[in-house]
Chains A and B, each alone.
Chain A
Amino acid sequence: MVNMTVNNTIAHQRLILSGDRERFKELLRRRLIECGWRDQVRVLCRDAVKENESSNVTFDGLVSKVTPRARALVPDTVKKELLQKIKTHLLTQKEP
């Protein structure tokens, strides 16, 4: 378990170092826009703000309210594509 965390941290650091983390983020961002997820989440946020119009809406309040539903809305195809691409990418990386 400890070993697993160390490996994860190394993989994480390597992705940042090579800039590939940003590239994957960009790919994910693009897919979420394409499939309409961003628009759906925007509607969720708008509704949440409208519901609480009288009280002060904070970022954290919005996050805790919208996150569970927003997560559930991410299509499986997007998750699968990202998972598969990150996996292949990490496996083909040469040892530095």
Chain B
Amino acid sequence: MNDNGCIHLNNFKAAKGTNPYKIVHAFFVSCTSFEARRYKATSCLCFTCGQPGPRMHSCLHCIYFACYGGHIQEHSKSKKHFLYVDLSYGNIFCGQCQDYIYDRELTEIAMAHKLKQAKSLGISMPFMPWLPNSNEAMALRRLRKRRLISVHTTIGLRGLQNLGSTCFMNCIVQTLIHTPLLRDYFLGEKHKCKAQGSSKCLVCEVSKLFQEFYSGAKTPLTLHRLLHLIWTHARHLAGYEQQDAHEFFIATLDVLHRHCMNGVEGNVEKPENGRCNCIIDQIFTGGLQSDVVCTSCSGVSTTIDPFWDISLDVAGPGSLQACLERFTRAEHLGSAAKIKCSNCRAYRESTKQLTLETLPIVASFHLKRFEHSSQIDRKISAFVSFPAELDMTPFMSSHRRAVDVGVDNNNAPEGLFEDNRYSLFAVVNHLGSLDAGHYTAYVRQMKGNWFKCDDHMITRASLREVLDSEGYLLFYHKTVLEYDCEVS
């Protein structure tokens, strides 16, 4: 099978060009407009038997729709119109070759229409497998060494030396290294640095770190260069005492984000709708919507702020979902906290509600286990259960709105096709007391395998063990990734 079509199709193309196929495809296979959908809905019935199937085809020589249950074949034979198009998939059947045939030029037309259709319907772009370009194909031929990855491989796992209370750093590094999309980015060598070789760029350092983790070596790594870089760029973390892993996580994302901006990564520097497009923001940034409702005029003032993680109160709830439920509940601000209502032009009592307007690819939750007040600093060890699979739909702004106006969201059409499922891939735990503590991390590596990272020691763990752990920072990865529609 090749994609050069057949002699019959090539003759047809020479005589009539690609236009007949283009029109049939744009109107009856991948509808590129509302008008096209109307034509498809009303006219795609078999001209012989009046049924919408099975497997409708359209003649490429004249206007004739018929089913594959024998009627399109009848038409083809009697009129000697040998080429016809399958209306479900857009493939061309040649009656003389007696099979479907594939033509590169027409396949490209079909792909362009598919993208246009996906864009017009707001659905994710169809997945296209990676095809090596000529450079990549050459590189693959040149590099003969192959490494077979088995299910029981330990590749990608390495311990990290403790440099004197640096377990807070080690557990965050383990988490970042095991973030699936970040791994794909770095192993794909997508970071192109302006400041090449200056060894000041944290993104370059992380890139090198990924190479170390995946080199196949098993000895623990020492992260003094990374630590030094972060000390230089986030001065508040410098020093040899134990730091808060959450603070370190946010500071690291911030430095990485700033260094990405200095790089020359494609369109990083043209922020899309005011938002940065660097890899950190693409993976970790979500939008938090805050609705303040005036209690006297019911006027709503809405703001949306970017977030990298969500900090949740742990006193009370008992489960992550309950924490999130409380986080997104409308809260009465009371008479002591009046806000100026732009509608009433006066200070009014109001309610405030936080919801998630857009979700990041990696959802990071910070359980507020450390309480710092003027009287007391303490650790809250309350048990909070968290699931391996989490559906974020109930905490979305669109869902909350639907619930408020009394619509059962299961029936709302936009909720039907949304996929907000997440799966757990890393958990950072704090053991011990506030001043004498230790951090460890559980990470998921390969499909469904969990490992406990305790500085230089890596041990196999079970999912049960992970879910039973206390949990300080929880990291979830979107289960299904949408593809962007880029239509040129």
Residue from B99, B121, B419 within 8 A of A19 (CB atoms)? B121
Residue from A14, A23, A27, A92 within 8 A of B121 (CB atoms)? A23
Contact, CB under 8 Å: A17 / B37: yes
A39 lies within 8 A of chain B by Cβ: no
Residue from B98, B99, B121, B416 within 8 A of A89 (CB atoms)? B416
Q: Provide the bound-state CA to CA distance between A6 and B99, in Å.
A: 33
B44: chain A residues at CB < 8 Å are 16
Contact, CB under 8 Å: A27 / B417: yes
With contacts A20-B413, A92-B413 known, is A13 near B123, CB below 8 A? no
B480 lies within 8 A of chain A by Cβ: yes
Residue from A13, A22, A27, A58 within 8 A of B117 (CB atoms)? A22
Contact, CB under 8 Å: A12 / B117: no
Contact, CB under 8 Å: B417 / A58: no
B40 lies within 8 A of chain A by Cβ: yes
B335 lies within 8 A of chain A by Cβ: no
Q: Provide the bound-state CA to CA distance between A85 and B417, in Å.
A: 9
Give the number of chain A interface residues (Cβ < 8 Å): 22
A9: chain B residues at CB < 8 Å are 52
Interface string of B69-108 (1 = CB under 8 A from A): 0000000000000000000000000000011100000000
With contacts A58-B99, A89-B416 known, is A13 near B121, CB below 8 A? no
- A47-67 with Cβ < 8 A to chain B: 58-60
Contact, CB under 8 Å: A16 / B41: yes
Interface string of A11-31 (1 = CB under 8 A from B): 011101111101100110010
Minimum Cβ distance to chain A for residue B334 (Å)? 39
B196 lies within 8 A of chain A by Cβ: no
B410 lies within 8 A of chain A by Cβ: yes
Contact, CB under 8 Å: B99 / A13: no
With contacts A16-B37, A17-B38, A19-B37 known, is A26 near B417, CB below 8 A? yes
A88 lies within 8 A of chain B by Cβ: yes
Contact, CB under 8 Å: A30 / B413: no
Contact, CB under 8 Å: B417 / A23: yes
Contact, CB under 8 Å: A17 / B411: no
A13: chain B residues at CB < 8 Å are 41-42
B124 lies within 8 A of chain A by Cβ: yes
Contact, CB under 8 Å: A12 / B52: yes
Minimum Cβ distance to chain A for residue B448 (Å)? 14
Q: Provide the bound-state CA to CA distance between A12 and B53, in Å.
A: 11
Q: Provide the bound-state CA to CA distance between A2 and B132, in Å.
A: 53
A76: chain B residues at CB < 8 Å are none
B410: chain A residues at CB < 8 Å are 88
B126: chain A residues at CB < 8 Å are 26
Residue from A14, A34, A92 within 8 A of B41 (CB atoms)? A14
Contact, CB under 8 Å: A59 / B41: no
Q: Provide the bound-state CA to CA distance between A53 and B461, in Å.
A: 46
Q: Provide the bound-state CA to CA distance between A34 and B44, in Å.
A: 31
With contacts A20-B413, A30-B480, A85-B416 known, is A58 near B98, CB below 8 A? yes
Q: Provide the bound-state CA to CA distance between A85 and B410, in Å.
A: 9
Minimum Cβ distance to chain A for residue B237 (Å)? 41
Residue from B42, B99, B123, B413 within 8 A of A26 (CB atoms)? B123
B100: chain A residues at CB < 8 Å are 59
Q: Provide the bound-state CA to CA distance between A26 and B416, in Å.
A: 12
Most chain A Cβ neighbours within 10 Å, of B40, B42, B117, B413: B413
Kindly report which residue of chain B lies nearest to residue A93, judged by CB atoms: B413
Contact, CB under 8 Å: B37 / A88: no
Q: Provide the bound-state CA to CA distance between A45 and B165, in Å.
A: 57
Minimum Cβ distance to chain B for residue A18 (Å)? 8
Minimum Cβ distance to chain A for residue B52 (Å)? 6
Minimum Cβ distance to chain A for residue B77 (Å)? 16
Q: Provide the bound-state CA to CA distance between A20 and B120, in Å.
A: 12
Minimum Cβ distance to chain A for residue B129 (Å)? 12
- For the complex with contacts A23-B416, A59-B99, A88-B410, 5 further pairs of A-B residues with Cβ separation under 8 Å are A12-B52, A17-B41, A27-B416, A88-B411, A89-B411
- Taking beta carbons and an 8 Å cutoff, which residues of A are in contact with B? 9, 12-14, 16-20, 22-23, 26-27, 30, 34, 58-60, 85, 88-89, 92
Q: Which 4 A-B pairs have the closest CB atoms?
A: A16-B41, A13-B41, A19-B121, A17-B41
| Interface CB pairs A-B, < 8 A, 13 | A12-B41, A13-B42, A14-B41, A17-B41, A22-B117, A23-B417, A26-B126, A27-B417, A30-B480, A58-B99, A59-B99, A60-B99, A89-B413
